[in-house]
Structure 1
Amino acid sequence: MFSDHITTYWNQFLGSIKESSSQPLDFSGSFHFGGKEDATSIAALVATGSKTSTGSLLWGYECENKPIPSIGEYNIITDSDDMPVCIIQTTTLSIIPFDEVGEQFAFDGGEGDRSLEGWREMYWEYIQSECERIQKIPTMKTPMVCEYFKVVYNEPFQQEFK
């Protein structure tokens, strides 16, 4: 299931929502962006609104038999120590070949120099690594799950003491 920190942070978020909101929230889980060494710096980009998009390899979801993200779902973003930083909600989703991802998506990814060229270089390394892991051959047409999200909760984690 979820760690105590994740459960506590989710409950902290739920407690901040006005009671008139009776709509159930689709909590998908928690994750960090990038490798462990980059997770804290990328989480800060998300929390400040510099990063509002991310891409992932469709084949990875298929290989692991996991559903792709869905519009409206919530995820807790964690840092390098797996501590909650903020909660995002997926707003837009599309599946696009790697070589058709556009400049705006790359800019909204918030990382590096925010250029399409920089994004492609960074993501090509990711694609090659993932394809090697799942034994697929990467091409410029490799399908990317391109996701936009918004930060819906950005309060500090409040440790509960027992």
Structure 2
Amino acid sequence: MNKRYFLQASVVIVGAALLPQYFTRRTETMATSKDTKFEITKSEAEWQTTLTPEQFRVLRKHGTERAFTSPLDKQYAQGTYICAGCELPLFTSDTKFNSGTGWPSFFNPIEGAVGSTVDRSFLMTRTEIHCSRCGGHLGHVFNDGPAPTGKRYCMNGAALKFIAA
């Protein structure tokens, strides 16, 4: 075995061992932190009986729905957006805006309704947003939103329900 082949093989083996963590690694999230306590806790089986398969995938498995598939993206009536898992009010329609991203976007949550964690999946660092009562994954927040906060809470429509005023 020559030196070049040995070095190439070593890089491939080490890369194969280390690379997956950059696609799936989450820091301080429900996926890795079992001591996080939420007011509403259920077993995986209980969540599956109360949520649709898409809601379960998004809220409990940190999934993301395809862009432009949620009817809530174009919902602009007056009302409140609540967690699809526990029905906690999360956002009001007064804070919703059209971000053009294909997901319902808001510039400010209802005070105390959401929490955040660091998400280091997919070779990037993002701020993940979850429901403060049940811990359900809602989406991510970015610093490119409108005034007055400059924040864009980019939420999965599957994680929300809309209650008209």
TM-score between the two structures when normalised by the length of structure 2: 0.26
Relative contact order higher in (CA < 8 Å, ≥ 6 apart): 1
Q: Using structure 1 for the length normalisation, give the TM-score.
A: 0.26
User: Higher Cα Rg: structure 1 or 2?
Assistant: 2
Higher helix share: 1
